[in-house]
Structure 1
Amino acid sequence: MTTAQRLLAAVALAAGATALAAPVASAAPLGPIEPLSVTDELDALAADSVGPEHSKAVPAPSEQLAGLNRLAGVPHDLDPLTGQLAPVTGLLGA
């Protein structure tokens, strides 16, 4: 695990703990509240922790999460292919 990964893991842990503790806080709002986006905050923190020479090579956390969302649909994309191969796999055995 590289230093940047450790730093991002620590920041993610701190952000998660803060998100869990935020509803407990009973501070009165001072003015209009802007909606908080966790992914935007993580992107900003990640951009600050990665050097400018490596910023193009390291994907943002929001891009990584989008990749995970696309990965969830892969089994459904493979259903037509596996349906066509089902008769052949019965002949080949396990």
Structure 2
Amino acid sequence: MTTAHRVLTALALATGATALAAPAATAAPLDAPQSVPVMDEPDSLSAGSIPAEHRGQVPAPSEQLAGLNRLAGVPNDLQPLAGRLDPVTGLLSA
């Protein structure tokens, strides 16, 4: 058997194996959840490391991240105040 025959035989076997595996790969059910709750695991890990009497005082990591997300809106909330201070800051910088 020549080298070309060996290469063609290997390609034919790989193509055949792929053709047999393709239907099995598409047979997965579509009932899986659309989103994975990423913060459930850190919440459960942190709850286990905090003593029971202090769990109500320490916010969960998901609550802490939600607080950080609220900080993104602070510049928009401060814009009216900054607009009122513009004349004063113009006098102070001169």
TM-score, normalising length from structure 2? 0.60
Aligned-pair RMSD on alpha carbons?
1.9
Partner of 1:92: 92
Give, in angstroms, the shift of residue 40 of structure 1.
Answer: 1.2
Q: Which has the higher contact order (CA 8 A, sep 6+)?
A: 1
| Matches of 2:89 and 2:47, distance apart in 1 | 48
The alignment status of 1:36 with 2:31, answered yes or no, reads no
**TM-aligned CA deviation for residue 33 of structure 1:** 4.7
For 2:59, the equivalent position in structure 1 comes to 59
Give the ranges of 4+ consecutive aligned residues of structure 1 lying more than 3 Å apart after TM superposition. 32-36
- Alpha-carbon distance in structure 2 between the residues aligned to 1:92 and 1:36: 52
Q: Report the equivalent of 1:68.
A: 68
* Structure 1 stretches lacking a partner, 5+ long: 1-28
What amino acid is the match of 1:40? Answer: D
Percent identity of paired positions between Structure 1 and Structure 2: 62
TM-score, length of structure 1 as denominator length: 0.60
Structure 2, gaps ≥5 residues long = 1-27
